[in-house]
Amino acid sequence: MASRLALGNDRKVTDDGDCAALVTIRTIDDIHNAATALAEIAAARGLRVAACSDIASKEPMVDADGGIINGEIFGWMVDGERWWEDTRLALSSPLPRACRYESETFWCSADGFHTHWRNKYLDEMSLVDFNKRALCSAAIVVPVHLPFGQIGAVSFPPTDRDKTNLSNEFAAYGDLLGVVSRRFIAGYVGAMRTRQWMPSDCKLSKREVECLHWAAIGKTDKEISLILSRSHATVRYHVHRAGEKLNSVNRSQTVFKAGQLGYLGAAS
């Protein structure tokens, strides 16, 4: 495997499909080899890997034997490097925080965020004490936006810990790293999913979506009835019916689940 991947920073992989295949996970037994392949893809380009399948979860990513991937495979073992042990990191580090506001691959350092297009949310994000908060001097970051509102992320800091400019690496490898990161994280999440709390093939009606849209931005049933020129009882019926379809316990959860399924758009 290593001979196929160790191409050096001066060459570009001609068949990205090979790399994607190497990091594909279909069952939990695939996790270890896929993570090893991802680490080798990064190392061949002078980068390390730090992966998180859910930036809102405290649970570390593990293989079939329970080994922590970021430690045993990606090599974050030294004191102060085991970032997954810091439960505050997802809220304080600029790397996962940026993934809440950007969906495309970017790179960043203390000097700022560098993206394919301007993102005003990132422009306004504080980078004070970047190295301490991000635990690296710079990194290429791939946000992985998954179904049901889950966000994963894969960061690629340089093996040279003093390097702060990744513009060349981003230009050369950014697209490939995006492909392999999304394939790896999506496969991991699918293989590790143990329960289904969202109904399958849930179809909301146009009127149900309209009512939930206004509810999501804070309108009461009475206000929604005035906006849609429908009776108060009719609005309550549509919200209630949507809740039944989504298997929700109350109005708030109905709005939340509808938002996770993408019914409410950016307005929610």
Instruction: Give the residue from 224, 222, 203 showing the smallest Cα distance to 213.
Output: 224
Q: How confident is the model at residue 258 (pLDDT cuts 50, 70, 90)?
A: very high
Q: Is the dihedral of CA 22, 95, 156, 48 positive or negative?
A: negative
pTM for the structure as a whole: 0.85
How large a percentage of the chain has pLDDT more than 90?
79
Q: Is the pLDDT of residue 3 over 70?
A: no
Mean pLDDT, residues 217-244 taken together = 94
Are 34 and 191 contacting, i.e. CB atoms less than 8 angstroms apart?
no
Residue 86 — pLDDT band, cuts 50, 70, 90? confident
- Give the count of beta carbons closer than 10 Å to the beta carbon of residue 102: 18
Amino acid at 67: G
Between CA 73 and CA 188 the distance in angstroms is: 15
Task: Report pLDDT for 7.
Answer: 42
**What would the pLDDT profile of 24-44 be if each residue is shown by its tens digit?**
999 999 999 999 999 999 999
CA distances from 111 to 39, 138, 264 (A): 26, 9, 36
d(CA 37, CA 184): 10
In the predicted structure, residue 264 carries a pLDDT above the cut 70: yes
Q: How confident is the model at residue 58 (pLDDT cuts 50, 70, 90)?
A: confident
Residue 38, SS3 per DSSP: helix
